[in-house]
């Protein structure tokens, strides 16, 4: 077990990360890094070897070890389960692989109603038992440490994007054609993918995850009107179906400056913000009822430390301004909600780049802890 | 010569497009489509054959023909010279090629001060005389037609991105590392690229282009603070150096919602807006002194006509709301400026996708003309 970092009160489920997500008082601003388990770490490269990522994910002890490496290395407040948003799709044999350096690739893209037949319901304990097993291993290791385990799933729109495009896309031509040409079929696909996300997250939380993030990585390709019509309803459904778990939810996408208010309306406890929108501006768009996560530019972490240090302080300062601005409204508006709003989870604005020096991220985590420590 | 579409007043340089850019009264909202000369047109595929795009560009009669094809096909109010933003870089032998389906690729990326020696000044008449020759051929063909010819260049940041990354990038890791680690070297590179853009645009305008667009396609990868420090100064310098030409300028980028006000402050007559930000919201960010260009989602043009029709009307409606909102301030603020602000140039929010049905774009152009005709 890791030594405790959560302070004397941090029992399971009441970690610094969870408290910040809910907008409750915290001993310091919690920090974790998207893709913190990854190629920037030499111990990751050593443990992973050259096998495919889906094969590493299906090896629960290995996945647990990769999940824990960045906790040891960076001193972060959360581990995020080593997995991938296409794991459920892969597990129901839809025919998706993850190509190194490219991302998810679908052999037979989803283009018509017939393709719905290839998308059977995802039953986590039967189709991908290794995910919950890895979560159990990590949760046991983190017990009493004050470090939270975050589970995750792809939001329906982003998973659909991979399915319909057949892989990463710059234009989203096929997916937009489908949603606008066959909106009823689109809605049926989104409902299926919402069920898939719900099943996946529920299994991870029941196995020990104390929070979860929905990655809607490509939502920024949509106009606000498209997001509201074609992506938001299914995301809202996922969050609503998972509300009974009582764990905080984080909704994240890239290039979502125009969508932040709509993303907040989907009902997450935390809205993730990429590096393009300063957190005080994000607060104006999201309103007072949510916590915010972000948003140091991952590419900036390749710069010399003084640049990274200044940028980290800038994020903390914008988060602090954002919290003060939201306090009054938060107090009056959220009495009935589990989340009090106004919290901040420090993170990057997108995933760690493989070229990143791990020493820089450790220094960022330390700086965030020092600067925000409350006695 | 093409038949006149500009109305009785439309002498050379006083076309509908130019008037809209300057915010002057127009007979109808002018329309053109980014990448209107391209693979969506069968006549383009027939004329281009299988040679490289840089070789087609260097064949002035072919480039002129490809420039004119969409004018005939779509009835648009402007032709944009068939060329590429890396033509000057290629012409000074920096070692860039354009790979089909991938984009510009640089054999030896720019990474250190030594690389500045490989970037000699661009002298259009000696290094790429075919560009002005193509512009002259097109301008002669368009004379008295009321259709404007638009010249263009890459904005310094976007050209630098290709040079430093070595090709298209998702993360902009190298370019951000360079700007933050070696800001003085970065500034010298940007100054050189500003000179290159100025020389390139000046040659095109002297050869007959009546307006020009700066493509800062990747600016949206920058945070507002980064844009202001590392991209804006060179773009402002380009626009300032070209002001004596008296032709309108358009500044366009993708994913620039957070940057629109800063882009306006660079001094273009027109700010191009991608599909993510409705034009009335863009107007609030840019202010009253500029015209706006955009912003139908190109991916939406793959949908059935009723969807495209509604989306086109939505763009026109937002543009109209934006113009009304800006009138009072425009009248009081712009007496001394050549541009009166508040105009609208209809366009897509990014380039035409190759899969697009040309009939759809023709119908969009016709609809814009019909809906906005003033008697």
Write the pLDDT tens digit of every residue in A60-73: 999 999 999 999 99
Distance between A102 CA and the closest CA of chain B, angstroms? 11
Distance CA A354, CA A359 (A): 13
Q: Find the mean pLDDT for residues A262-290.
A: 97
Q: Phi, psi at residue B91, to the nearest 5°?
A: -70, -25
| B299 in contact with chain A, both atoms CB, cutoff 8 A | yes
CA distance B176 to chain A (A): 6
User: Would you state the pLDDT for residue A102?
Assistant: 87
pLDDT digits (tens, 9 = 90+) for B210-251: 999 999 999 999 999 999 999 999 999 999 999 999 999 999
Q: What is the pLDDT of residue B82?
A: 98
In the predicted structure, residue B8 carries a pLDDT above the cut 50: no
| pTM > 0.95: yes or no | no
Is the confidence at residue B12, as pLDDT, over 60? no
Residues of A in contact with B223 (CB under 8 A): 275-276, 278, 297
Question: Which member of B172, B180, B355 has the closest CB to residue A303?
Answer: B180
pLDDT, tens digit, 9 for 90 and up, residues B188-213 = 999 999 999 999 999 999 999 999 99
Distance from the Cα of A134 to chain B's closest Cα (Å) equals 30
- pLDDT band (50, 70, 90) for residue A262: very high
**pLDDT confidence of residue A248:** 98
pLDDT of res. A74: 97
Q: To 10 degrees, what angle do helices A173-181 and A183-206 make?
A: 110
> Looking at chain A, which residue has its C-alpha nearest residue B354?
A173
Judge whether residue B111 has pLDDT over 80. Answer: yes
- What DSSP letter does each residue of A327-375 carry, written as one string? HHHHHHH-TTSS-----EEEEESSPPPTT--HHHHHHHHHHHHHHH---
Instruction: Look at residue B134 and tell me whether its pLDDT is greater than 90.
Output: yes
Query: Are A276 and B258 inside 8 Å of each other by CB?
Result: yes
State the average pLDDT for chain A.
Answer: 92
Query: Do B225 and A314 make contact, defined as CB atoms within 8 angstroms?
Result: yes
| Structure token pair of residue A207 | 């196995």
Taking contacts as CB-CB distances below 8 angstroms, the residues of chain A near B185 are none
Which residues of A are marked as active site?
A: 35, 39, 48, 84, 162
* Dihedral sign, Cα of residue A32, residue A36, residue A42, residue A48: positive
In b/e form, how buried is each residue of B285-305, taking b as 16+ CB within 10 angstroms? Answer: bbbbbbbbbbbbbbbbbbbee
Closest-CA residue of B relative to A220 is B276
Q: What ipTM goes with this model?
A: 0.90
Query: Using 50, 70 and 90 to split pLDDT, how confident is the model at B322?
Result: confident
User: Worst-scoring range by mean pLDDT, A271-285, A311-325, B249-263?
Assistant: A311-325
Of A258, A298, A314, nearest to B277 by CB-CB distance is A258
Q: What is the mean pLDDT of chain B?
A: 92
């Amino acid at each position: 077990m890791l030594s405790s970092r959560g302070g004397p009160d941090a029992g399971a489920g009441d970690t610094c990360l969870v408290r910040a997500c809910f907008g409750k008082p915290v001993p310091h601003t919690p920090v974790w890094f998207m893709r913190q388990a990854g190629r920037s770490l030499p111990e990751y490269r050593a443990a992973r070897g050259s096998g495919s990522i889906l094969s590493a994910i299906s090896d629960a002890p290995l996945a647990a070890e990769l999940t824990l490496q960045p906790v040891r290395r960076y001193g972060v407040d959360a581990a995020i389960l080593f997995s991938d948003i296409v794991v459920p799709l892969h597990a129901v044999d839809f025919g998706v692989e993850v190509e190194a350096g490219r991302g998810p690739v679908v052999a037979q893209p989803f283009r018509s109603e017939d393709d719905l037949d290839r998308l059977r319901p995802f039953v986590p304990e039967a189709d991908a038992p290794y995910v919950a097993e890895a979560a159990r291993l990590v949760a046991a290791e983190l017990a009493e440490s004050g470090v939270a385990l975050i589970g995750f799933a792809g939001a329906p729109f982003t998973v659909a994007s991979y399915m319909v495009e057949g892989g990463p896309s710059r234009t989203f031509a096929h997916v937009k054609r489908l949603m606008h040409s066959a909106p009823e079929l689109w809605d049926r696909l989104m409902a299926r993918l919402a069920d898939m996300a719900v099943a996946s997250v529920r299994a991870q939380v029941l196995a020990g995850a104390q929070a979860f993030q929905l990655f809607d990585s490509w939502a920024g390709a949509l106009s606000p009107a498209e997001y509201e019509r074609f992506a938001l309803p299914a995301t809202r459904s996922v969050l609503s179906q998972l509300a009974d778990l009582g764990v905080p939810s984080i909704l994240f996408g890239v290039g979502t400056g125009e969508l932040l208010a709509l993303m907040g309306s989907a009902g997450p406890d935390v809205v993730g913000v990429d590096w393009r929108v300063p957190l005080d501006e994000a607060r104006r768009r999201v309103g007072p009822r949510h916590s915010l996560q972000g948003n140091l530019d991952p590419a900036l972490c390749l710069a010399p430390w003084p640049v990274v240090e200044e940028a980290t302080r800038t994020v903390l300062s914008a988060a602090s301004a954002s919290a003060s601005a939201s306090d009054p409204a938060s107090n009056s508006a959220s009495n009935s909600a589990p989340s009090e709003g106004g919290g901040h989870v420090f993170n990057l604005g997108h995933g760690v780049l493989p070229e990143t020096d791990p020493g820089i991220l450790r220094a960022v985590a330390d700086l965030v802890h020092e600067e925000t420590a409350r006695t």
